[in-house]
Amino acid sequence: MLTFPLYLVYCFILSWKETKNFANGCSAHITGSSYARGNMALPDQATFIIENTEFGDGTSLEANHHCGVGYTGGLCQPQYILHNVLWTNTDTSKKWVWFQYQNFQSHNANQNHGGIFSLAPPDADAVMNGQIYQNSIFPEGFVSLVSSKYTYLLNLPDQPCVLSSTISSKFGLFYDNGIICKVPLRSLKVWTRGLDPWTAPGLQVELWYMRGGVDSQVTAPDSTQVIGFHQIGTNTPKQGFSFPVIPGIDHSYRLSLTTGEDIPIDWIVEFSDPVMGNRYGVEYTNLSLNGRRRCGMNGLVSSQHDRRFIWSGGDFLKDEAWGNSGACSELALSDLPLIDCGSIYNGLLQAEECPEKCSLPCNEDTHYCDCGLSSCKPRQGFVEESEIDLCAAARCEHGSCTATFLGGATPVTSNACVCDQGWTG
């Protein structure tokens, strides 16, 4: 899977069904791009980072584009992290962000309405410290957004989260009447097995806000909500519960089943994502199950917790994962090692370089010396002048060559031209 630095894309429809995080543990899905007049249909899994990108007029962001269509999707609670993203959309007649409310299925509480939009930690920290984020997608002082289904966020002291429509009808339209928050939000998932949508219990979520670790859970919680069971299709292993949480060591969550039964010890709990720790610093939450069982290190769960056998190849959750992986595994496995993202060029993993093999030095800003070819080749996002011949072959008389949007070096065998207005073919 590649990260493409797409430069100028106007009048577009971009669509993902499913995705995963990158093997290097650092890269963004989209970087260095500019979009206008189109819909970005975002995927339903993992952490999707958009960085150094501008969204102009007529742009909309669609959460969970393909969740529950056929057998695609998982727990449909992706994290969309916006890092140095400029929102210059001046269109006030349409939604800027939208959730899948229309696909909500009551019989299994399908959470197609999931999806978390949040500023990346450096941007969010600046806003929470009183700085003005010019051209933020959110109103001044706000850093995250989820659907209106997660009502427990509205009942907290000092009201860090509010319905967008209570600020103004304009914001209600822009944010699909979702909940906007002055604090970050991250995904928490509970993978289950052996349940069916007609008899599955609900998951009761309790939050103690700004009251420290799990030791504070001897008093009444500040807010609570029952999260419905979610399953992709029927009789599939893609099932469980998911919801947004406020990260940080000052808050604690307790999870329990509405039936009063204990959450089985083999169910798998995931919090946030290792890429967040690798890029921005380790994230934490305090978590307990059933009022007795503490997760992580005495209740403190890290974004780097063990995830072995989860989303492994085509087997989805391998048998070895159950009871042996996740934030609440009783094996007390060590956290995953942090990856130094500073060693990755501009968020992109580059090919191995051998400068001694090139007879003339390469321009280090735009090129590297390929070890196998012993010649200078362009870094990702840069193009050799000779490679523009791909566009000559496309013969786009009244339009733009599609190959230029793919780095200039990727041949396009279908729809090689983006036609100018009024032209087709």
Predicted local distance difference test score (pLDDT) of residue 42: 93
**Arithmetic mean of pLDDT, 196-220:** 95
Q: Which range scores top for mean pLDDT: 44-48, 109-113, 187-191, 410-414?
A: 187-191
Selected residue with higher pLDDT from 180 and 310: 180
217, 186, 187, 224: which is closest to 202 by C-alpha? 224
Q: In terms of residues, how long is the chain?
A: 425
Predicted local distance difference test score (pLDDT) of residue 105: 46
56-89 pLDDT, tens per residue?
999 999 999 888 777 778 899 999 999 999 999 9
Q: How confident is the model at residue 421 (pLDDT cuts 50, 70, 90)?
A: low
Q: How confident is the model at residue 110 (pLDDT cuts 50, 70, 90)?
A: low
Instruction: Classify residue 4 by its DSSP letter.
Output: B
CA angle at residue 177 from 172 to 181, to 5 degrees? Answer: 90
Average pLDDT, the chain: 85
The answer on pLDDT for 162 being more than 90 is yes
Predicted local distance difference test score (pLDDT) of residue 6: 45
Burial class (CB in 10 A: 0-12, 13-18, 19+), 116: buried
Question: Cα 119 from chain centroid?
Answer: 11
Selected residue with higher pLDDT from 345 and 240: 240
Q: Strand pairing partners for 234?
A: none
282-313 pLDDT, tens per residue?
999 999 999 889 999 999 999 999 988 886 44
Instruction: Please provide residue 30's backbone torsions phi and psi, each rounded to the nearest 5 degrees.
Output: -130, 135
Q: Which pair of structure tokens corresponds to residue 153?
A: 């966020």
**Arithmetic mean of pLDDT, 49-54:** 95
Q: Which range scores top for mean pLDDT: 102-116, 208-222, 296-310?
A: 208-222
Secondary structure of residue 163 in the 3-state scheme: strand
Q: Are 118 and 149 in contact (CB under 8 A)?
A: no
Pairing of strands 203-208, 252-257: antiparallel
Q: Which range scores top for mean pLDDT: 26-40, 67-81, 264-278, 324-338?
A: 264-278
